[in-house]
Structure 1
Amino acid sequence: MKDVLKYTNYHQYIADYYAEKKAKSAFTWQTFTRAAGFSSPVFLKYVSEGRSNLGEETARQVANAMGLVGYEQDYFVEMVKFGHAKTDEEKKSIFNRMLAIADIHKVRVVEGESFRFFEDWKNPVLRELAPAMPGAKPLAMAHACRPEVSAAEVSETLNFLVKANLLQKDKDGNYTQTDKIVTSGPMNFAPLALRGLQRQMGEIALGAIENVPQDERHFSGLTLGITREAYKKIVQEIADFQKRVIAIATSESATDEVYRLNVQLFPMTKKSVNKG
């Protein structure tokens, strides 16, 4: 069975645990559920399918039934809390506790490095900037950033990017990208991580209106009356447009500056406009 610390979705872990036990013995949902102290013979089956949920106390019951002890049980309970957290701040706090447990026990949570990457605007910016400034020291990179950051923050970010295999550093101290593009992929927490990054980038964009010369930035917008079907078509058009932008950016190996492109499409009215 794969280490519980490599999961971020407790429903999936329970499903995988059952599937492995079932493959090796005459294990049943009724047997599993009874061992966890529940009366319904299908309760954990429903949990594995996402149709029912666990609370903190029932999470420990299930963890015991699966033989999880110590830090494994603590991680499983945090995973349950993460699955039901209501706010971004709560989710972020819980996920960081999960990562801390994994780090202590030298287990790499694959999604954890992606979460950390999208958690801070400095990560994508320095991933682009560092290869464009061969031989540059952290202080020089710090002065090149908008908004300006400290050399210590640059060093910390570069160390993370190398550790996460998002940058490679050669013997001369030069950086290269391991992949040209980084995407969020099918992360369980993608909305959480990306909302935080988009919020930061939105705030930086507001500052750029005042602090960046007009011939070095482009801001434009449209206010439209649309249907739900038109909304879906526009979203697809934006996705296609972003692919074309990526193709233009990656067609050249050189970098003069690091830019951020924000594309937002959001409602300015409520859905009741045409009702009544």
Structure 2
Amino acid sequence: MDMQSVSEISVFMYFDYREYIHAILEALQSEGASMRSIQEAAGVPGSAFFSRILDGTRPLSSANAKVLAKAWNLRGEEADYFLGLVQFGNEKNVDKREHLLRKLLAARASKQEYALQDSALQFFSKWYYPVLRDLLPLVPARTSAEKIGRFFTPPLRAPQIKSGIRYLTEAGFIVCDKNGKFSVTSPVVSTPPRVRSTMLRKYHLKNLEINSEVYDSFTSDERSITSVTCSLSKEGFEKVRTEITALREKILAIAQEESNPDRVCHVGFQLVPRAQIPAKEKKA
């Protein structure tokens, strides 16, 4: 089987091992190889090996990942990245998954074309990056970092503001004109859901922590914090989730219509089960 088409597909392009495998299979089939011959050449068991992996009914084991890496001539950094990709894709623990994602990003960092792309993923690595992005266009040109830091709640130090501006500029989230006035751009951060959820986890947790810290910094007229506790079925839960999504989009639409904003706000929604009856108990 000609492996030339396989070698032209960089494993470093992927954060999802199933997408990588699908690309390899498509390349081999485009050259006339049958699924059976691909499996036989790879040395993997079972007549439905690839179909079951691609449809998500079974994970790719580490042992079989090594078999595929050898069959597809993945060596050194490529093989290590592929095996890490499989670990990341199969891991359920959120803390371990974050550690594995960091390793994948570190491996991609040595590749110029991916390093630039991955810089956008760091947008949610600091709670204040999104706030700073929206705040900078509102402040007068050439406002000092020390003064900008005092606009935040809680306040930020000048080095944090300077490093934030440097990151946002290099990643393409903001631009500065010749007069020192910032404006927002809209780079696209396109990643698989698992990558997004892994990157966003600490961001959401940090914002919840900060909200509790600064609660008393605002009067009741300056904040709006409410909650509701209710009983829902699975169907009702999904309806509430849909309503939250619709409200979020409406809030964004209101923000886009603003002509003279004077503050950057964080609006959070939490729809979290506090107690749940197991199905077997409910039927009893």
TM over 0.5: yes
* Greater CA drift, 43-52 or 192-201: 43-52
Q: What does 1:251-266 align with in structure 2 at a 5 Å threshold? A: 251-266=257-272
Q: Distance in 1 between matches of 2:269 and 2:183?
A: 28
Q: Could you tell me whether the CA contact under 8 Å between 1:119 and 1:197 is conserved in 2?
A: yes
- Contact 1:114-1:184 at 8 Å conserved across structures: no
Change (3 A) 1:245 1:109: same
- For residues 6 and 109 of structure 1, the distance between their equivalents in structure 2, rounded to whole angstroms, comes to 11
The one-letter code sitting in structure 2 at the alignment partner of 1:224 is C
What secondary structure, in the 3-state scheme, does the structure 1 residue paired with 2:77 have? helix
1:158 to 157, 165, 168: 165
Contact 2:137-2:182 within 8 A present in 1 as well: yes
TM-align CA RMSD = 2.6
TM-score, normalized by length of structure 1? 0.87
Aligned to 1:10: 17
* Aligned residue type for 2:244: I
Q: How does 1:25-104 map to 2 (within 5 A)?
A: 26-104=32-110
AA of the residue aligned to 1:112: D
Matched, 1:127 2:133: yes
Contact 2:36 2:47 in 1 (8 A): yes
- Displacement after TM superposition at 1:274 (Å): 5.7
Contact 1:29 1:41 in 2 (8 A): no
- CA–CA distance in structure 1, aligned partners of residues 57 and 271 of structure 2: 32
Q: How far does residue 76 in structure 1 lie from its aligned partner after superposition?
A: 1.2
With 53-62 and 254-263 compared, the bigger mean Cα shift is at: 53-62
Greater displacement, 111-120 / 9-18: 111-120
The CA deviation string for residues 28-75 of structure 1, in whole angstroms up to 9 with x for no partner, is 333333333324344234323333322334323212222222222221
> 1:122-201 alignment to 2 at 5 Å?
122-133=128-139, 134-179=141-186, 187-201=193-207
Secondary structure of the structure 2 residue equivalent to 1:168: strand
Point out the more displaced range, 131-140 or 196-205. 131-140
Structure 1 residues not aligned, in runs of 5+: none
Percent identical across equivalent pairs? 25
Look up the SS of the partner of 1:117 in the other structure. Answer: helix
